[in-house]
Amino acid sequence: MTGTPSAAGTPSAAGASGPSSPPVRVLYLAGSGRSGSTLITTVLGQLDGCFAAGELRYLWQRGMVDNRPCGCGAPFNACPVWRAVTAELAAVAGPAFAADPAAAAGIARRLRTRLRMRDLPAMLRRAGAGRRAVPHHADDAAIAAVYPAVARQVSRSGDGPVVVVDSSKLPPYGALLRDLPGIDLRVLHLVRDPRGTAFSWRRRRGLDGAADRKLMSRPPVWKAALLWRVWNAATARFFEAAGPARYLRIRYEDVVADPAGQLGRIALFAGLDPAGLPVDADGRVTLAPTHSVAGNPARHRTGAVPVSDDAEWVRALPGRSFAVVTAVTLPLLRRFGYPVRRPAAPPAPAVPPAGTQGGPVQGGPAGVPGGPVPATTPSKEG
């Protein structure tokens, strides 16, 4: 696998960053959940010089505190790559940091408070006035240290930047990263038809696959629609003015219709060589393990995976739910090129669709994709 971490998690000189080194390039996937970010992150992670980190805003809680599985399958604390990263963070946050989960839990708790939705209008006002959207906090030193520590785990064979892909999606967290020293941020604004995301959110899925007793969050359709509207509008407000060198908007539907073309476009935007993309002529992607720290359970999938549109919502989303989501998201539907009326239903797929919850790419590390979950403990961080 190209772009893999160094052997046994030993930092690679190619990814080194010091006082005189250039900033770490971070490709930040922003927007609403259930829009195909896991597919894009995992595919990019196959490229030379790229680290598919997953949702790094959850590093502190799901990784360091909960010890949930890395994308490679090992528990976080047993993964040599993340052990190396944690050791570097201890040098910034203090010697007790690596041995004391309470320190990471504190960062996770404070980060959730700093990124609350109710504070979004104030963040947008500060950003519009040229100030930091998310006010400075002492935790920022540890957060900023994550990205060069991750980049140092990448070995590459050619020239060009090391790219860390962070699929955290939350716009305020992206705004926080933009204002941190040592980070060269490029934002991929990933959009999907809100009726499709609302339908996907209602599926029951284990946080790390079918056997996981902790479920991903399942907001009602009206809340999923509201989140879609708020996070996509905020993403555009925070980042669109940066111009085409730092902001790119891509629709999920275009990615699944032309995987090679759209993934190549994203790779070039990030500064990666698209020649190594593992996409064949039939639209299948071949995936090796990554070290994503959190995200959709599809981050555990490996091997040849078909990429096809998860359009079950067109047939199965109830009429009342369709009307509610359409009404809530109407101001942005046309802007992003989506019809107001329900599109014609496509033929039923012969295999489970890929690219979002419930398909081959995002079905989980074990069991049948989309299979039953044996418990009902929801995650509040989905």
With respect to residue 333, please indicate whether it lies within any of the assigned structural domains. yes
With respect to residue 63, please indicate whether it lies within any of the assigned structural domains. yes
pLDDT at 130: 95
Q: Which residues does 128 contact at the CB level (< 8 Å), separation at least 6?
A: none
Residue 114 is part of a domain; what is its CATH number? 3.40.50.300
With respect to residue 321, please indicate whether it lies within any of the assigned structural domains. yes
Averaged pLDDT for residues 226-241? 97
With respect to residue 1, please indicate whether it lies within any of the assigned structural domains. no
Averaged pLDDT for residues 286-314? 84
Phi, psi angle pair for 38, to nearest 5° = -65, -45
pLDDT at 2: 41
Q: Which of 47-61, 102-116, 304-318, 320-334 has the lowest mean pLDDT?
A: 304-318
Per the model's pLDDT, the better-predicted residue between 206 and 47 turns out to be 47
The answer to whether residue 8 scores a pLDDT higher than 70 is: no
With respect to residue 2, please indicate whether it lies within any of the assigned structural domains. no
Per the model's pLDDT, the better-predicted residue between 353 and 243 turns out to be 243
Q: Which of 74-78, 169-173, 353-357 has the lowest mean pLDDT?
A: 353-357
Distances (CA, A) of 185 to 45, 128, 177, 182, 188: 17, 18, 7, 10, 10
Domain range for 99: 7-378
Gap between the Cα atoms of 34 and 41, Å rounded: 13
The answer to whether residue 48 scores a pLDDT higher than 50 is: yes
Q: What is the mean pLDDT of the chain?
A: 82
pLDDT at 89: 86
Return the half-sphere exposure (C-beta side, CA atoms, 13 A cut-off) of residue 216.
27
Q: How many residues are listed for the chain in this entry?
A: 382
**Nearest by Cα to 147 from 53, 75, 14:** 53
Averaged pLDDT for residues 182-199? 96
Buried/exposed 25-49: b ≥16 CB within 10 Å, e otherwise: bbbbbbbbbbbbbbbbbbbbbbbbb
The answer to whether residue 197 scores a pLDDT higher than 80 is: yes
Query: Model confidence at 95, in pLDDT bands (50, 70, 90)?
Result: low
Q: What angle do CA 157, 294, 191 make, to 5 degrees?
A: 85
As for how many domains the chain has, the answer is 1
Q: Are 139 and 70 in contact (CB under 8 A)?
A: no
With respect to residue 96, please indicate whether it lies within any of the assigned structural domains. yes
184 Rama class: left (phi>0) / alpha (psi -120 to 50) / beta: beta
The model's pTM is 0.84
Beta strands 183-191 and 247-251 are parallel
Gap between the Cα atoms of 37 and 43, Å rounded: 10
The answer to whether residue 263 scores a pLDDT higher than 90 is: yes
Per the model's pLDDT, the better-predicted residue between 8 and 213 turns out to be 213
Beta strands 377-378 and 214-215 are parallel
Gap between the Cα atoms of 41 and 258, Å rounded: 16
With respect to residue 261, please indicate whether it lies within any of the assigned structural domains. yes
The answer to whether residue 246 scores a pLDDT higher than 80 is: yes
**Nearest by Cα to 301 from 45, 60, 34, 10:** 45
Q: Which residues does 373 contact at the CB level (< 8 Å), separation at least 6?
A: 204, 205, 206, 210, 212, 213, 215
Averaged pLDDT for residues 306-331? 92
